[in-house]
């Protein structure tokens, strides 16, 4: 569980690493994701810094979410073929936003506390060319994330 939110501390999981050209892979991922969006007839999908997202439910939170904040979320992660590779299964997980994959770092702040967002993440913002558990190398990922609670960072005084 919680494969999706592991930081790049996956050295123990690095069983398969394939050659990697981030520029070429970004192009491949973008083409693949756009086709996925078209084939699934997804509406309201926007692009932000290479990440594709859809606000499913607007949250009521008023404050922006930052990398130093801690968030509590429910989520389901899927490969683009629909295979579920990880889910919180109704038990929210809590983590510092800056400790997770780039796609979540960029995507979760596009939502608000109490909201739900879909993130379609290119592999270049996920696990790149590294196999992580059931996630093959160079895989774009599709997440539905409920932002349950945001704990704003408070510096120690």
Domains of the chain, with CATH numbers? Answer: 16-151 (3.10.50.40)
pLDDT range class, residue 155, cuts 50, 70, 90:
confident
Question: Contact 149/71 with Cβ under 8 angstroms?
Answer: yes
Across residues 12-19, what is the average pLDDT?
A: 58
pLDDT recorded at residue 35: 98
Residue 4 pLDDT > 80: no
pLDDT range class, residue 20, cuts 50, 70, 90:
confident
Query: Residue holding tokens 């992580």?
Result: 132
The pTM assigned to this predicted structure is 0.89
**Residue 4 CB contacts under 8 Å (≥ 6 apart), including other chains:** 75, 77, 85, 86, 100, 101, 104, 141, 143
Across residues 76-80, what is the average pLDDT?
A: 98
Facing residues of 127 across strands? none
Other beta carbons less than 10 A from residue 52's beta carbon: 24
Across residues 83-107, what is the average pLDDT?
A: 97
**Residue 21 CB contacts under 8 Å (≥ 6 apart), including other chains:** none
Question: Contact 75/88 with Cβ under 8 angstroms?
Answer: yes
DSSP letter, residue 92 = -
pLDDT range class, residue 157, cuts 50, 70, 90:
confident
pLDDT recorded at residue 8: 36
pLDDT range class, residue 17, cuts 50, 70, 90:
low
């Amino acid at each position: 569980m919680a494969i999706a939110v592991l930081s790049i501390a996956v050295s123990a999981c690095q069983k398969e690493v394939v050659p990697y050209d981030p520029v070429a892979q970004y192009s491949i991922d973008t083409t693949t994701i756009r086709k996925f969006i078209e084939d699934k007839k997804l509406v309201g999908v926007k692009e932000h810094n290479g990440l594709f997202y859809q606000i499913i439910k607007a949250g009521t939170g008023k404050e922006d979410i930052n990398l130093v904040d801690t968030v509590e979320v429910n989520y389901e992660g899927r490969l683009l073929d629909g295979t579920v590779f990880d889910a919180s299964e109704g038990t929210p997980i809590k983590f510092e936003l800056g400790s997770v994959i780039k796609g979540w770092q960029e995507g979760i702040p596009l939502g608000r506390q109490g909201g739900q967002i879909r993130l379609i993440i290119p592999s270049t913002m996920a696990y790149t060319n590294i196999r992580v558990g059931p996630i093959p190398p160079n895989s774009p990922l599709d997440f539905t994330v409920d932002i349950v609670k945001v704990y704003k960072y408070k510096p120690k005084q």
